[in-house]
Structure 1
């Protein structure tokens, strides 16, 4: 498939590229992430899990590293989750390397089929309804046929843009841009599950019964260590105030008491009420992140049946006592 130029050019504002109706959006900056010290530490620490190991083994090079931004979203009402997914990948890409890597990662090994969609060159996966469309030499669009039509209409400004969604826009503004940004609606059933999980994990702390979180935003920056901002959007200022107070009590009380080994990390946590949002921020320096990865490796080793004594051993940068 040769490179051909077309008129589908994404906006530099990532939410403006997402069709209306999106329920969740994930924005990643692969070129930043794969070059960060944080990624190197996580990879070195073996915390990436089987997926990262499989990716490294299957792909001769990393075809994702050259992308400047990949925006994934969940929208629509398809019968399967896969039918509701869509993505927009921006950046100079190696088409042959992408296809080879995707083929190697395919669970059933079925070959990809060359195709055309919306008069653009495309490939169709061997499983499901997804298509990847090569809109131009710096843009790839992916998803079900229905989602692809919505993306194309949005990029051509025929339809509404994701930035028109007030809650998503507010959540994005609350957390700011980062190397990874997640925005998602919270279904009432999720809140019910969250309360059940909290009641099992903590002895004396619960989410206030009057609080309902309707949107969550997360922004992570991996430059010079790791910093993150979480925004919990409630139904109003009163609920946000109640949740902020409860979270401060949790951090200063039971969380610090039960996770004393992580006290230096917990000390960087801050809780801030901003209108209907509750913001939680924390930051780890490069040294603290290195120590946290070391501790995480010990915890994973203990979970795999290795000696649990290693968890309590001190590590550098004050992460453990």
Structure 2
């Protein structure tokens, strides 16, 4: 009978030790000694029901071993703090997976990374020092656990307002999360995706700092605001790209302008040259492209059709990895640069035939 009781008591303490890390915290110094002490305590406790007996035995044990004083004296001990941090992280993660998705997590989340359930160390310490004070009295490890659980339930999930406040204060973890989230909203097949993402992030952070969001407490409103920025940045990029294409197209004529006076006769000739460039059936186009036939397709797509080098690469090869896309566009750009000199020479010869 005594052996059975010892086995039961040993199981009690082993379970508490596993759940609450009592040995690593320093509360239990000698496990066997504590088993003997529990056996002594159990002699004076009446057996009503097993559950009541267990509850009374452990409560008496922690009172005799002064668990409340142990907690109070260890409030600022790094090992104790780290233990609580580990438990808090587990609680937050469990809360994230078990609860129904919070609205903020539906609209503001980067892939599987949740911004509403982030608990970086500095944020934990802020909460810890607020809730764990030297006058705190917790009688058992179980009470300590549920106290942590109560705090976790109070704080998480973070609201969209709290998330934006952390971003506003330039918290690196939350800023990184926002950056990932914004990138998730941008189409992956956009050749300027990296640039649009960078510009969007800057604009979004500025909007937060200047309190431009109309409803920061509404996750959907925040998402719509971010999408609006992305659309604007895309249109800016599109206009810049088209402007660049037109600028490069005019370089050919500009080169000739340097050699010819801006006369009415020359303006007419320029118009005819542009017509040749745009008309594949014009017999002079073959002469115009002599020696550079392998680069005609890219030239026409870029200068006549108005496509950017990135758009040409996607049209010819489909979606490419960023590095491969850059390699293709760089090659197109080099090819066109090599074409300009012979093309200008051909144009000068053709002018006499116009």
For CA contacts below 8 A with separation 6 or more, give which structure has more relative contact order: 1
Higher helix residue share: 2
* Larger Rg belongs to: 2
Task: Decide: shared fold, TM above 0.5.
Answer: no
Length-normalised TM-score, structure 1 = 0.25
Length-normalised TM-score, structure 2 = 0.23
